[in-house]
Amino acid sequence: MPKYNAKVLEELISDLSGLRADLRTQAGNLQTAAANLSAAWEGNDGFEGFRGAKSRFDVEFGTEDTGDMTVDDTTIGTLNGLGRAVEAAWQNAKGTDSKIGASFGG
């Protein structure tokens, strides 16, 4: 008897997928807003401070436009990795169950 709950795993996969999509959308929105703010502040005293803070944020969070959303040491990359791992584990469990069932003629 499996020691997992298929419905819970499928809901988790769906939830993670939805959250990743929302996060990607917000990441894109943040990049657009930051570009607009950067353009407005260029030449002002606060510009260099803003640019440094934005750069540190991008390194930590990851950015959609640079492909860093798949780098596992960024926040969004970690979330993507978690989603991929849960889905792979679920697919492996289903595959194993199918093979075991087939070996018993089912």
Tokens of 35: 């570009």
pTM, to two decimals: 0.68
Residue 29's nearest CA partner among 74, 56, 64, 61 is: 64
Q: Which residues of the chain have a pLDDT value below 50? A: 1, 66-68
Per-residue model confidence as pLDDT tens digits over 53-75: 999 988 888 876 544 455 667 88
pLDDT of residue 100: 82
pLDDT of residue 106: 59
Provide the residue ranges of all domains of the chain, joining segments of one domain with +. Answer: 6-99
DSSP string spanning 66-80?
Answer: TTGGG-TTSHHHHHH
pLDDT of residue 63: 72
> 90 φ, ψ to 5°?
-65, -45
For the chain, report the end-to-end CA distance as a whole number of angstroms. Answer: 14
